[in-house]
């Protein structure tokens, strides 16, 4: 199945769905205490921070002219 430019989007959607199911059901977070929810949510927030910092560095690489 060749979806051209949608391959990455479909693959990431499947990966996020699988990760969510693993965390909620196989790691029993869905039926755990609030503290477990806070720890799981803080992990997701930390991942989002790290990804955004990495992307900001990657996307701004060409802004500064190198001294020659």
From 37-41, 48-52, 57-61, the region with the lowest mean pLDDT: 57-61
Q: What's the confidence (pLDDT) of residue 14?
A: 96
pLDDT tens sequence across 4-32: 889 999 999 999 999 999 999 999 999 99
What average pLDDT does the segment 48-59 reach?
A: 95
Q: pLDDT grade, residue 66 (50/70/90)?
A: low
* Residue ranges per structural domain of the chain: 4-60
SS (H, E, C) 7-67: HHHHHHHHHHHHHHHHHHHHCCCCCCCHHHHHHHHHHHHHHHHHHHHHHHHHHCHHHCCCC
Q: What's the confidence (pLDDT) of residue 57?
A: 92
């Amino acid at each position: 199945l060749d979806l051209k430019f949608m391959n990455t989007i479909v693959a990431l959607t499947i990966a996020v769905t699988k990760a969510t199911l693993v965390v909620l059901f196989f790691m029993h977070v869905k039926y755990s205490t609030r503290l477990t929810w806070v720890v799981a949510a803080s992990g997701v927030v930390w991942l989002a921070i790290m990804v955004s910092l990495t992307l900001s560095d990657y996307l701004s690489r060409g802004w500064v002219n190198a001294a020659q």
